[in-house]
Amino acid sequence: MDFRVINNETLPKIMELWDYCFEKNNTPFFKWYFNEYCLKENTIIGGFDEADGKLMNMLHLNPYVINLRGRAVQMPYIVGVATAPEYRGRHLFAPLLETTFSLLRAQQCAFVLLMPISAGIYRPYEFDYCYYRHRYEMPLAALPKVSIEEGVTLERTGLEQAEVFAEVYNAATAAYHGAVQRTPKNWQHLLAVHSGEEVKAVLVKQAGETLGYMFYSIADRVLTIQELIVKNTGARNALLRFAKQHVTEADKMVWLAEAWDKTYLHLQEQQYAGSLLPFMMARCINVREALLQLSVADTELSGSLALLIRDKTLPLNNGLLELGVAAGQLTVKSTVAMQDIELDIAAFTQMYFGQFSVWELAAENRLKIHNKEAAELLDMLFPKCNNYINEYF
**Nearest CA among 189, 82, 74, 78 for reference residue 127:** 78
Residue type, 94: A
E-state strands within the chain: 2-5, 43-48, 55-68, 71-83, 111-114, 128-139, 152-157, 200-206, 209-219, 222-230, 252-258, 275-284, 303-310, 319-326, 329-334, 341-344, 367-369
Tens digits of residue pLDDT in 318-329: 999 999 999 999
Q: In the prediction, which pLDDT does 148 show?
A: 86
192 class by beta-carbon count within 10 Å (0-12 exposed, 13-18 middle, 19+ buried): middle
Task: Categorize the per-residue pLDDT at 146 as very low, low, confident or very high, splitting at 50, 70 and 90.
Answer: confident
Lowest mean pLDDT among 37-46, 289-298, 360-369: 289-298
d(CA 328, CA 263): 39
**Nearest CA among 380, 382, 366, 381 for reference residue 309:** 366
Contact 137, 269 (CB under 8 A): no
Q: In the prediction, which pLDDT does 115 show?
A: 97
CB atoms within 10 A of CB 158: 9
β-sheet bridge partners, residue 155: 203
d(CA 332, CA 20): 46
Class of domain 2-114: alpha beta
CB atoms within 10 A of CB 227: 18
Mean pLDDT of 352-367: 98
d(CA 188, CA 211): 21
CB atoms within 10 A of CB 294: 20
Ordered alpha helix ranges (H), 174-310: 184-196, 233-244, 287-293
Contact 245, 216 (CB under 8 A): no
- CA geometry: angle at 173 spanning 168 and 177, to 5°? 175
Does residue 145 carry a pLDDT above 90? no
Tens digits of residue pLDDT in 28-80: 999 999 999 999 999 999 999 999 999 999 999 999 999 999 999 999 999 99
CB atoms within 10 A of CB 175: 10
Tens digits of residue pLDDT in 208-224: 999 999 999 999 999 99
3 state DSSP class of 360: helix
Class of domain 134-278: alpha beta
Mean pLDDT of 15-32: 98
Could you give the dihedral angle defined by the CA atoms of residues 246, 251, 257 and 260, in that order, rounded to the nearest 10 degrees? 110
Q: In the prediction, which pLDDT does 297 show?
A: 86
Q: In the prediction, which pLDDT does 67 show?
A: 97
Mean pLDDT of 285-298: 94
Mean pLDDT of 171-192: 97
Q: In the prediction, which pLDDT does 97 show?
A: 97
Mean pLDDT of 3-20: 98
Q: Report helix, strand and coil shares of the chain as percent, to nearest 5.
A: 30, 35, 35
Ordered alpha helix ranges (H), 44-161: 93-106, 119-122
1.10.10.10, 3.30.1050.10, 3.30.200.20, 3.40.47.10: which CATH number matches 286-381? 3.30.1050.10
Q: What is the pTM of this model?
A: 0.96
Residue type, 257: A
Where along the chain do its domains lie? 2-114, 134-278, 286-381
DSSP state of 387: B
Residue type, 65: V
The average confidence (pLDDT) of the chain is 97
The answer to whether the 2-114 and 134-278 domains have the same CATH topology is yes
d(CA 54, CA 208): 58
Does residue 147 carry a pLDDT above 90? no
